[in-house]
Chain A
Amino acid sequence: MSISGLVYAVRDITLDIRKGEILGIVGESGCGKSMTAKSILRLHDEKKMEYGGSILLDGEKDILKMSKKELREMRGRDISMIFQDPITTLNPLKTIGKQILEMYQLHTDISGEEAQAKVLELLDLVGIVPAQDRFRQYPFELSGGQLQRVCIAMALACRPKLLIADEPTTALDVTMQAQVLDLLKRLQRKYNSSVLLITHNFGVVAEICDRIAVMYAGQIVESGDVREIFYHPCHPYTKDLIASIPKTGQHGTQLTTIPGMPPRLNQDIVGCPYAPRCTKVCDRCRTEAPPLKNAGETHEYLCFLEPDNSREVSA
């Protein structure tokens, strides 16, 4: 059977990332969170993909309407990205210093010496010391955690307005994860840049995010301030997801599970995509798309349930 028709990886998403905040997108695999992130940089092969809607940078420039040249200039300078696997992200044949240096050569006019000084400063900042020696090392000589820090240095070289981090710590050990998250937060504060953090790990979100958007089946089902979402989740999916995480001090207890599987992306969705798995489903959910509701100033969710009768303290 061939895959027929359109595959909607991302359906009608509205998202704004404010200056100087860390926004986390959480969701399970296949929910479209990476698609969303890559779409912002238009990293998809446009022969295979079509975009609709608009992505505004600074509230004016539409990334979807940019020419190839504008796009190239924008990438790395205004918006940059770090990926899950630092080992394959970096070019194995070039020294790490040279790879960071290239960022300056591409996007700025500063002289070689100046750029080199900046690279050393940057390496020092991300804790790749002694910077002088590390500058000349090749990626294989560094560990995964160190490489991810190099990637962060590279991404932040041109002080981008937005840094997109796609599962930046998933491939790392806990101790390395803590280091990388700490660094990310510190640098974000220092440069006052915005960060879009994609992850499936609620712990990572709790650790550094200011706001969260929860994705399911290509839609954002709930978004809001990190504390709001953690302590007063309104969408049943968010609640179930948070409840299914094993927590300290609950040895051997039954964890909440979500029955069934997320819908396939090429399926037509009628009504709420979560309806087949939802415990609080009603007839309306299966036929009508749920409305976007407010549960507080910054807190929005996509469900028929009222915030009050679903508002209970979990966690």
Chain B
Amino acid sequence: MKKDKTVNYGKFFTAPVIISLAVLIIIIGSVIFADLIAPYDPNALDMKNMLKDPSSLHWLGTDKVGRDIFSRLLFGGRTSLLSALGVVGISVIIGVPVGLLSGYYGGKLDTLLMRICDIIVSFPALLLAFVFVAAFGRSLTNAILALGIVYIPMLAKLTRSLMLIEKNKTYVEAAHSIGYSNRRIIFLEIFPNCISTILVQLTLDIGYAVLDMAAMSFLGLGVQPPTSDWGFMLEENRAFLTTHPLTAIVPGLVIILIVVALNIFTDGVQAYLDPSQRALPSVTKFKRKLGITRD
């Protein structure tokens, strides 16, 4: 028998994973260290240098009010990524417990929580976010909150279905027979077994959140000037798409790049977690691979 090449037996660092990870590290790293890297103040106006083409002074050129696009990209990335994290964070904090409780207890609680989720899902996601922002005022925080709420149902439903699978396994019954409390069974016995799948979903969600935040900003509902994020940059510069295409294409490209990289990375994680071992690569296993442990 040959070793099956289509199934990855536990090699995590495959070419796509390495490349996507590198892209993610470069983007996230440069965004974090924007203060050090950025050559200009992202919001400084320079009317003498409006709509300049790329040069050694302005690597990616300038926009209609002479702001350096490269610098704006770096600082904009901060807003974009942080708000995406915020969105996903809100959905995790509420969605995961809702899913766990709903799946574990079932019955009326389950019906109630899931109907609420259904109501949220039945509206187009962005439309709901628009309504929310329109009602509570335009601000970045409101945009994040709005999208966060929109993201809750999907995560809650995923967690619930994982719970439904796990709670019928023997180890849960064993936990009951030992007399563990429900809280302990939910959060210490079952939840750790759902983490790997939820984690995969989260990395995907971050990609979507970046896109959705860009869409919100593009429509003027997200960040407010002069702060920028990638979506807002797209919006500002779309008028010059024909004359100075780079101004709008660059932020668009970065969004695509980070979403694609996240997706590929997630695929890699999934391929590693799913077929052979469901457990996350624990530190020991990783060490064993590197040959550091005795075991």
Q: What is the interface of chain A, defined by CB distance below 8 A to chain B?
A: 1-9, 47-50
Majority-rule SS of A interface residues: loop
Residues of B within 8 A of A7 (CB): 1
- The minimal Cβ–Cβ distance linking A197 to chain B, given in whole angstroms, is 25
When distances are taken between beta carbons in the complex, the residues of chain A under 8 Å from B9 are 2-3
Please pick, from A1, A8, A9, A50, the residue contacting B2 in the complex, using a CB distance under 8 A. A50
Most buried by B among A2, A5, A49: A2
Contact in complex: B288, A1 (CB < 8 Å): yes
A9 and B6 contact, CB distance less than 8 A: no
Check if A1 sits within 8 Å of B10, measured CB to CB: yes
Is B4 touching A48 in the complex (CB atoms < 8 A)?
yes
Residues of chain B within 8 A of A1, CB atoms compared: 10, 288-289
Task: Kindly list chain B residues whose C-beta atoms are within 8 Å of the C-beta of A4.
Answer: 3
3 closest A-B pairs by beta carbon, nearest first, are A2-B9, A48-B4, A49-B1
Q: Is the CB of B11 within 8 A of A2?
A: yes
Do the beta carbons of A9 and B4 come within 8 Å of each other? no
Task: Chain A residues near B1: list those with CB within 8 A.
Answer: 6-9, 48-50
Measured between alpha carbons, how far is A275 from B71 in the docked complex, in Å? 72
Q: How far is the CA of A1 from the CA of B6 in the complex (A)?
A: 17
Q: Given the complex of chains A and B, what is the CA–CA distance between A7 and B9 in angstroms?
A: 14
A residues near B6, Cβ cutoff 8 Å: 47
Smallest CB separation, B36 vs chain A (Å):
41
B residues lining the A interface (CB < 8 Å): 1-4, 6, 9-11, 288-289
List the B residue with the shortest CB-CB distance to A5.
B3
Q: A48 to B5, alpha carbons, bound, how many Å?
A: 8
Chain A residues lying within 8 Å of B3, measured Cβ to Cβ, are: 3-6
Tell me the nearest residue of chain A to B2, going by C-beta.
A50
Interface of B is mostly: loop
Contact yes or no, A49 B2, CB < 8 A: yes
Of the candidates A3, A8, A50, the one having the most CB atoms from chain B within 10 angstroms of its own CB is A3
Task: For A6, give the chain B residue with the smallest CB separation.
Answer: B1
A48 touches B10 (CB 8 A): no
Contact A47 B4 (CB under 8 A): yes
Tell me the complex Cα distance, A48–B288, Å. 27
Interfacial chain A residues near B288, Cβ < 8 Å: 1
Interchain Cβ contacts under 8 Å between A and B, 9 examples: A1-B10, A1-B288, A1-B289, A2-B10, A3-B3, A7-B1, A47-B2, A48-B1, A50-B1
Of all chain A residues, the one with the shortest Cβ separation from B289 is A1
Q: Which residues of B contact A8 (CB under 8 A)?
A: 1
Nearest residue (CB) in A for B288 is: A1
User: Given the complex of chains A and B, what is the CA–CA distance between A10 and B170 in angstroms?
Assistant: 33
Measured CB to CB, the closest approach of chain A to B6, in angstroms, equals 7
Q: What CA separation (Å) do A5 and B10 show in the bound complex?
A: 14
B1 (CB) vs chain A CBs: closest residue? A49
Q: A6-B2, A48-B4 are in contact. List 7 more A-B contacts (CB 8 A).
A: A1-B10, A2-B9, A3-B9, A47-B4, A47-B6, A49-B1, A49-B2
Q: How far is the CA of A4 from the CA of B2 in the complex (A)?
A: 10
Residue of A nearest to B9 (CB): A2
Chain B residues, Cβ within 8 Å of A2: 9-11
Question: CA A1 – CA B295 in complex, angstroms?
Answer: 12
Q: List residues of chain B with CB within 8 A of the CB of A48.
A: 1-2, 4
B residues near A49, Cβ cutoff 8 Å? 1-2
Give every chain B residue within 8 A of A47 (Cβ-Cβ): 2, 4, 6
Taken together as a complex, chains A and B put the C-alpha atoms of A9 and B1 apart, in Å, by: 9
Chain B positions within 8 Å of A5 at CB level: 3
Q: How far is the CA of A9 from the CA of B2 in the complex (A)?
A: 12
> In the complex, what's the smallest C-beta–C-beta distance from A100 to chain B, in angstroms?
34
Chain A positions within 8 Å of B2 at CB level: 6, 47-50
- Minimum CB distance partner of A35 in chain B: B1
The minimal Cβ–Cβ distance linking A266 to chain B, given in whole angstroms, is: 10
Interchain nearest-CB distance for A61 vs B (Å): 24
CA distance A50 to B3 in the complex (A): 10
Please report the C-alpha to C-alpha distance between residue A186 and residue B289 in the assembled complex, in whole angstroms: 56
> What chain B residues lie within 8 Å of A50 (beta carbons)?
1-2
Minimum Cβ distance to chain A for residue B196 (Å):
19
**Chain A nearest Cβ from B226, distance in angstroms:** 53
What separation, in Å, do the CA atoms of A4 and B288 have in the docked complex?
Answer: 15
Q: Which of B1, B2, B3, B4 has the most CB of A within 10 A?
A: B1
Give the shortest distance, in Å, between B4 (CB) and chain A (any CB). 4
CA distance A47 to B2 in the complex (A): 8
State the Cβ distance, B245 to closest chain A Cβ, in Å.
Answer: 47
Residue of B nearest to A7 (CB): B1
Shortest CB-to-CB span from A217 to chain B, Å, is 16
